[in-house]
A and B are shown apart, each in its own frame.
Chain A
């Protein structure tokens, strides 16, 4: 459905925009219908930049993003946004505090559904709220500050659902929420997936990613270093960075020390051994990953890993 093909983003920073900051480097992946893909990475790794490029809030410097095979940069915006919507981290800031929920929904109506009869519109609002588990009476006539973070986050998802979207970009939508409500929003993503939506779930929290996604992408400094079926990436982490991340996750039932010991006993190759080049010795070259040289190679079925020194000439 949605595919990124060798996408890079370079921001111009510094006094006269004279310095290049490569926020996203040669990223390729796709999100299919009925699939939750989690994009995991630490602060500054480029997660939001990828989400913003998909939502056309910023332009890719290189590469293409396609939806059902069509270049999204060439699709009319309004039509594209009926298919693809985003929900972001802080529900309180992405929601204008002076508008009640029904007004925010009404704005969608005036842009996309001008001619729709009232009864049909009301049914649509009700269906969207029902899909996110909200009671219309409980939320519609309220200001944002009268709702909890979880309610507000679900309301924003409901707003996206008014548009019959097929793809949702959810950027850190859970991190602001309390434990007792975050799981409901997480379950909601699962329900939407069951309805056939494709979801890109952006998070820095590996437990949330594990719980909700079928596929996992691990992003390090703008580059995907490992990708594949969630249980394979977590069960058999191959890139040293993925291993370190997984060993750092605080678990409820196992101490860090124990996890470290287990990883030490199972991890045979040295930490600096490059699996990418062990699998593809012929792929040496100029360092920087070029279209001619794939960013990732296959470790096992549906599990891919990148070079650990991709931008260092002659390093592996």
Chain B
């Protein structure tokens, strides 16, 4: 078992109170697995990514534990995490590509980063060049500035940087979202390539775009309002989901081949609840067509079939 997350709770401190962005999340990822993490904006996807790598100043650890390769990951202790960050867990943060330092050449930026971690950048130069080529770029991008690169080129550079030290776990947060379809495909395919070459052992690929996950992920985990709704193999989530939210979500997705005139899709009425003061029980109840009195109690996230986990009273 490569990554295990147990009842993780991380809240944001705000003047109005705690925002319960990650409220009791339990899952595991197997060696070699690419896990897709999907869900509506604000459901807590990035919070999970940050919780496993780098707490931001407003995040508060409330409970739960994380084990990576049989070793506890001290996520609540930023100093202790220095030992793991980049070497064993690495993240490509959402918007990383727009956060690159514009005054540093790519090669220099990578060298600075490696040196700040006590690695010998000069000795790693051949490997850096090899990986730049592996993602389909020319070596000379190392001598260029970020503004000289297109979005897709930048994302591939960020991908190379985050994985230079062959981490066990890579978290890629919305790395294809701002890209055109053709570049999106190239970047998504590098994720698979890196896993297949074992440069990264496991991945969490965060995106709100289910069809990207259908292409790259082995399993998909669906989040809703700070909790997990469902986790299963990709073809099960796409083809035979069980949680009412996943079912409605999948059936609302247009796809080439589906037309308004022939088959009218429908959305999910209503909005996700506020995480400042979430409702008791199942967080989907206000929008769920199957909700009843039992749903005022919280449904547990249980394995209903081998490797298929669902949090819903009406699924067994």
> A57 vs B208: C-alpha distance in the bound complex, in angstroms?
33
Q: Is A232's beta carbon under 8 Å from chain B? A: no
> A37 vs B27: C-alpha distance in the bound complex, in angstroms?
45
Q: Are the C-beta atoms of A251 and B264 separated by less than 8 Å?
A: no
> B316 contacts which chain A residues (CB < 8 A)?
none
A154 to chain B, nearest CB (A): 11
> A120 vs B153: C-alpha distance in the bound complex, in angstroms?
56
Q: Are the C-beta atoms of A204 and B214 separated by less than 8 Å?
A: no
> B257 contacts which chain A residues (CB < 8 A)?
210, 251
> A196 contacts which chain B residues (CB < 8 A)?
none
Encode A242-254 as 1/0 by CB contact (under 8 A) with B.
0011101111110
> A42 contacts which chain B residues (CB < 8 A)?
180-182
Q: Are the C-beta atoms of A179 and B181 separated by less than 8 Å?
A: no
> A117 vs B267: C-alpha distance in the bound complex, in angstroms?
37
Q: Are the C-beta atoms of A256 and B215 separated by less than 8 Å?
A: yes
> A256 contacts which chain B residues (CB < 8 A)?
185, 189, 215
Q: Are the C-beta atoms of B180 and A43 separated by less than 8 Å?
A: yes
Residues 19 to 42 of chain B near chain A (Cβ within 8 Å): 40-41
Q: How large is the interface on A (under 10, 10 to 19, 20 to 34, 35 or more residues)?
A: 35 or more
Give the total of B residues in contact with A, Cβ under 8 Å: 38
> A230 vs B185: C-alpha distance in the bound complex, in angstroms?
23
> A234 vs B259: C-alpha distance in the bound complex, in angstroms?
12
Residues 141 to 198 of chain A near chain B (Cβ within 8 Å): 148, 150, 178-184, 186-187, 190
Q: Are the C-beta atoms of B184 and A183 separated by less than 8 Å?
A: no
> A179 contacts which chain B residues (CB < 8 A)?
40, 208, 210, 249, 252-253
Q: Are the C-beta atoms of A251 and B248 separated by less than 8 Å?
A: no
Q: Are the C-beta atoms of A250 and B267 separated by less than 8 Å?
A: no
> B57 contacts which chain A residues (CB < 8 A)?
none
Q: Are the C-beta atoms of B208 and A211 separated by less than 8 Å?
A: no
> A181 contacts which chain B residues (CB < 8 A)?
267-268
**Which of these, B212, B239, B249, B254, contacts A211 with CB under 8 Å?**
B254
A204 to chain B, nearest CB (A): 6
Q: Are the C-beta atoms of A250 and B254 separated by less than 8 Å?
A: no
**Which of these, B208, B255, B265, contacts A187 with CB under 8 Å?**
B265
> A246 vs B268: C-alpha distance in the bound complex, in angstroms?
28
> A115 vs B301: C-alpha distance in the bound complex, in angstroms?
60
Q: Are the C-beta atoms of B182 and A244 separated by less than 8 Å?
A: yes
Q: Are the C-beta atoms of A204 and B40 separated by less than 8 Å?
A: no
Known: A42-B180, A180-B40, A256-B185. A246 touches B208 (CB 8 A): no
Q: Are the C-beta atoms of A245 and B181 separated by less than 8 Å?
A: yes
Encode B178-202 as 1/0 by CB contact (under 8 A) with A.
0011101100110000000000000
Q: Is A207's beta carbon under 8 Å from chain B? A: yes
Q: Is A208's beta carbon under 8 Å from chain B? A: yes
Q: Is A255's beta carbon under 8 Å from chain B? A: yes
> A206 contacts which chain B residues (CB < 8 A)?
181, 256
Q: Are the C-beta atoms of A252 and B185 separated by less than 8 Å?
A: no
Q: Are the C-beta atoms of B214 and A252 separated by less than 8 Å?
A: yes
Q: Are the C-beta atoms of A183 and B265 separated by less than 8 Å?
A: yes
Most buried by B among A42, A179, A181, A246: A179
**Which of these, A150, A230, A252, contacts B253 with CB under 8 Å?**
A252
> B258 contacts which chain A residues (CB < 8 A)?
207, 210-211
B293 to chain A, nearest CB (A): 25
Q: Is A212's beta carbon under 8 Å from chain B? A: yes
> A42 vs B268: C-alpha distance in the bound complex, in angstroms?
29
Q: Are the C-beta atoms of A211 and B259 separated by less than 8 Å?
A: yes
Q: Are the C-beta atoms of B210 and A252 separated by less than 8 Å?
A: yes
Known: A248-B181, A248-B182, A250-B215. A183 touches B266 (CB 8 A): yes
Q: Are the C-beta atoms of A248 and B184 separated by less than 8 Å?
A: yes
Task: Give B40's nearest chain A residue, CB to CB.
Answer: A178
> A148 contacts which chain B residues (CB < 8 A)?
271
Q: Is B211's beta carbon under 8 Å from chain A? A: yes
Q: Is B62's beta carbon under 8 Å from chain A? A: no
> A187 contacts which chain B residues (CB < 8 A)?
260, 264-267
Task: Give A191's nearest chain B residue, CB to CB.
Answer: B260
> A248 contacts which chain B residues (CB < 8 A)?
181-182, 184-185
> A255 contacts which chain B residues (CB < 8 A)?
215
Q: Are the C-beta atoms of A207 and B254 separated by less than 8 Å?
A: yes
26 A-B residue pairs with CB within 8 Å: A42-B180, A42-B181, A148-B271, A179-B210, A180-B252, A181-B267, A181-B268, A190-B264, A204-B181, A207-B211, A210-B255, A211-B254, A211-B265, A245-B181, A249-B181, A249-B256, A250-B185, A250-B188, A250-B209, A251-B215, A251-B257, A252-B238, A252-B250, A252-B253, A252-B255, A256-B185
- Those 8 A-B pairs whose CB atoms lie nearest each other, nearest first: A211-B254, A42-B180, A250-B211, A180-B268, A184-B267, A190-B260, A248-B181, A248-B185
In the complex, besides A211-B259, A250-B212, A256-B189, 10 extra interface pairs with C-beta distance below 8 angstroms are A187-B260, A207-B211, A207-B254, A207-B255, A208-B254, A210-B255, A212-B260, A230-B259, A253-B214, A256-B185
